[in-house]
Amino acid sequence: MGYDAGMSVPVLPAQLTGLNVYMVGIKGTGMAALAEVLVSRGARVTGADVDETFYTDAMLARARIEYHEGFDRSHLTDAMPVPDIVVYSAAYDPDRHPELIEARSMGIPITSYTDALGALSRRVPSVGIAGVHGKTTTTALVACIVQELGLEGTVLVGSAVPDLDGRATLVAGDRFFIAETCEYRRHFLSFAPRAVLITSVEPDHLDYFRDADDIESAFVEFVHRLAPGGTLIYCADDPGASRVAAAAADGRRDLSLVPYGLSASGAGAVVITSRRAGAIGFKAGGDSFELRVPGDHNALNAAGALQVVRAVVGWSPDERAGAEIPAAARRAFAGFRGTRRRSEVIGEAGGVLIMDDYGHHPTAIATTIAGLRAFYPNRRIVLSFMPHTYSRTLALLDEFARALSTADVLILHDIYASAREENPGGVTGETLAVATHQYHPHVHYVPGVLDAGALVERVLQPGDLFLTMGAGNNWQLGPWVAERLARVRQ
């Protein structure tokens, strides 16, 4: 159990009931979701994280998980009982973090989040959902269908889901396990899938991956981890996902390939049938559905989710469940409210709709803005964007500039730095502002998030959509603006 220098894959014990688990970085979305699963399996969970408030604080409180604000060795030395295992977020280095160093000195096994997730995937037939974009929404849609069908499995999503009562997990049994997996540093290679879904593959995490070929090779390696006779579900409309599917199939002739999308045929074929304010209609495999979240890309995510559920039902054929999939999916899609920080509606005040989105890659930015324009055709889009990581901003500078220029008014902030990298070349938020100004006349650069409040108030007009976007902390601007506009209106 836990960390062993001679083991390539640390594991959790077979019995989780009564296991004392300490989680370093417990507020991370994946960590909080894992904590929910461990508690549901009978483990006693605690841990620590920074004292900044995140939306995961509410998730942990709902699961009645207590934890420390701030890190200290005494959290382990004074713990009663002493933890049986320590699980740590990939954001923390076990050779440098004080609590992880202390755990080792006390002889407490330690394991990473990704290896703990991988251990869970080895217990039951599992599905890994991966992709540079779309994996969180796709996994959430899978969870909603599974919930509607009443299937006895567990789904772990990379964000809080309103349709799951604000949790990031659906824990309804242990016949199967479906989880969002991460490509960064090839973390998903710890996962042992019977089926894999790939939404999209393109250059990202360029502080780690060298180029497009490098990231595609990681996805191919992930697909090759499929069990014999496994299933690869992929978006046929995405060039990178299609290349990965072709390369993976070339080395694994035993795999079943299931494409979905506008360019797919048969059961995976998608046709957009209607677009109107507040809804998008589509057909997937001949069945009609409707979504009330913005963007054609979400119709594709829904189609991929359908294929995952069909695969899981097919593992233990249940004619009743198989026949009910379209009706259950129709109900799930019609009521789907998205996930936390994915086109999330924060509120409306002074005639301004305020939303927040996690998009931090040029493709995600352009796709999200296009979807919002179709969904809210009469609203001007005022965008607050905070770049995330120096390496991504520098490597994709022109792509960012072009994508951001699709907003009507743009407010840029300084780069939200990652602890995992240094600034490689003096790139700043202002660098991006200058680049974007080539394509857009209304670009404002305000390094500090809340320093932009007065500008936002001045720019916004009734009927606008104010969107905060990025993986940084500029989401704080949305609630601030909502409160200010409501106060002015009163």
Residue 5 placed within a domain: no
Average pLDDT over residues 446-474: 93
3 vs 195, higher pLDDT: 195
Residue 11 placed within a domain: no
Q: Check residue 76 and give its pLDDT.
A: 96
Residues 63 and 77: their CA atoms lie apart, in Å, by 25
Q: Check residue 471 and give its pLDDT.
A: 85
Q: Check residue 361 and give its pLDDT.
A: 85
Q: Check residue 420 and give its pLDDT.
A: 67
Domain CATH for 273: 3.40.1190.10
- Do 479 and 362 lie in a common domain? yes
Q: Check residue 6 and give its pLDDT.
A: 31
pLDDT digit string, tens, across residues 77-101: 999 999 999 999 988 999 999 999 9
Residue 239 placed within a domain: yes
Whether pLDDT at 206 is above 70: no
| Domain around 267 | 124-335
Q: Check residue 304 and give its pLDDT.
A: 98
Residues 69 and 71: their CA atoms lie apart, in Å, by 7
Query: If phi over 0 gives left and psi between -120 and 50 gives alpha, with beta otherwise, what is residue 161?
Result: beta
Q: Check residue 55 and give its pLDDT.
A: 83
Residue 14 placed within a domain: no
Whether pLDDT at 243 is above 70: yes
- Do 295 and 348 lie in a common domain? no
140 vs 295, higher pLDDT: 140
Residues 78 and 39: their CA atoms lie apart, in Å, by 22
In a 10 Å sphere around its CB, with 0-12 CB exposed, 13-18 middle and 19+ buried, how is residue 100 labelled? buried
- Do 331 and 186 lie in a common domain? yes
Residues 99 and 196: their CA atoms lie apart, in Å, by 35
Average pLDDT over residues 434-461: 93
Output the average pLDDT for the chain: 90
- Do 148 and 250 lie in a common domain? yes
pLDDT above 70 coverage of the chain, percent: 95
Domain CATH for 46: 3.40.50.720
- Do 199 and 324 lie in a common domain? yes
Of the candidates 308, 335, 362, which is a domain's last residue? 335
Whether pLDDT at 1 is above 50: no
Residues 295 and 403: their CA atoms lie apart, in Å, by 16
Structure token pair of residue 217:
């090779």
Residues 490 and 487: their CA atoms lie apart, in Å, by 5
Q: Which residue in 267, 229, 223 sits closest to 242, CA to CA?
A: 223
The answer to whether 412 and 432 are in contact (CB under 8 A) is: yes
329 vs 394, higher pLDDT: 329
Of the candidates 294, 312, 335, which is a domain's last residue? 335
Residues 7 and 141: their CA atoms lie apart, in Å, by 35
Q: Check residue 30 and give its pLDDT.
A: 92
Residues 284 and 326: their CA atoms lie apart, in Å, by 9
Q: Check residue 84 and give its pLDDT.
A: 95
Q: Check residue 205 and give its pLDDT.
A: 65
Q: Which residue in 361, 311, 1, 308 sits closest to 157, CA to CA?
A: 308
Q: Check residue 376 and give its pLDDT.
A: 87
- Do 166 and 271 lie in a common domain? yes
pLDDT digit string, tens, across residues 21-41: 999 999 998 999 999 999 999
Residues 353 and 235: their CA atoms lie apart, in Å, by 32
Residue 13 placed within a domain: no
- Do 159 and 246 lie in a common domain? yes
pLDDT above 90 coverage of the chain, percent: 69
Number of domains in the chain: 3
- Do 315 and 166 lie in a common domain? yes
Residue 275 placed within a domain: yes
Of the candidates 60, 88, 116, which is a domain's last residue? 116
Residue 3 placed within a domain: no
Residues 425 and 435: their CA atoms lie apart, in Å, by 15
Q: How far is CA 438 from CA 313, 355, 413, in A?
A: 51, 26, 17
Average pLDDT over residues 231-260: 95
* Residues in Cβ contact with 451 at an 8 Å cutoff, skipping those fewer than 6 apart: none
- Do 128 and 112 lie in a common domain? no
Q: Check residue 239 and give its pLDDT.
A: 95
- Do 95 and 159 lie in a common domain? no
Structure token pair of residue 426:
């003096």
Strands, E assignment, 298-428: 344-349, 352-357, 381-386, 409-412
Average pLDDT over residues 46-68: 92
Residues 168 and 154: their CA atoms lie apart, in Å, by 11
pLDDT digit string, tens, across residues 220-229: 999 999 999 9
Q: Check residue 5 and give its pLDDT.
A: 31
Q: Check residue 489 and give its pLDDT.
A: 62
Whether pLDDT at 286 is above 70: yes
- Do 39 and 89 lie in a common domain? yes
Structure token pair of residue 421:
């990298």
Domain CATH for 363: 3.90.190.20
Residues 352 and 486: their CA atoms lie apart, in Å, by 10
Looking at the DSSP bridge assignments, the partners of residue 412 are 385, 445
- pTM for the whole structure: 0.83
Which DSSP letter does residue 160 get? E
Q: Read out DSSP for 91-145? A: TS-TTT-HHHHHHHHTT--EEEHHHHHHHHHTTS-EEEEE-SSSHHHHHHHHHHH
Low-confidence winner among 73-87, 257-271, 386-400 (lowest mean pLDDT): 386-400
Whether pLDDT at 73 is above 50: yes
Q: Check residue 477 and give its pLDDT.
A: 94
Residue 9 — very low, low, confident or very high, per pLDDT cuts 50/70/90? very low
Residues 407 and 401: their CA atoms lie apart, in Å, by 11
Distance of CA 309 to the CA centre of its chain: 19
Residues 386 and 468: their CA atoms lie apart, in Å, by 8
The phi and psi torsions of 164 (rounded to 5 degrees) equal: -110, 30
- Do 271 and 326 lie in a common domain? yes
Average pLDDT over residues 328-350: 87
pLDDT digit string, tens, across residues 350-371: 899 999 988 888 988 998 898 8
Residue 7 placed within a domain: no
pLDDT digit string, tens, across residues 304-321: 999 999 999 999 877 777
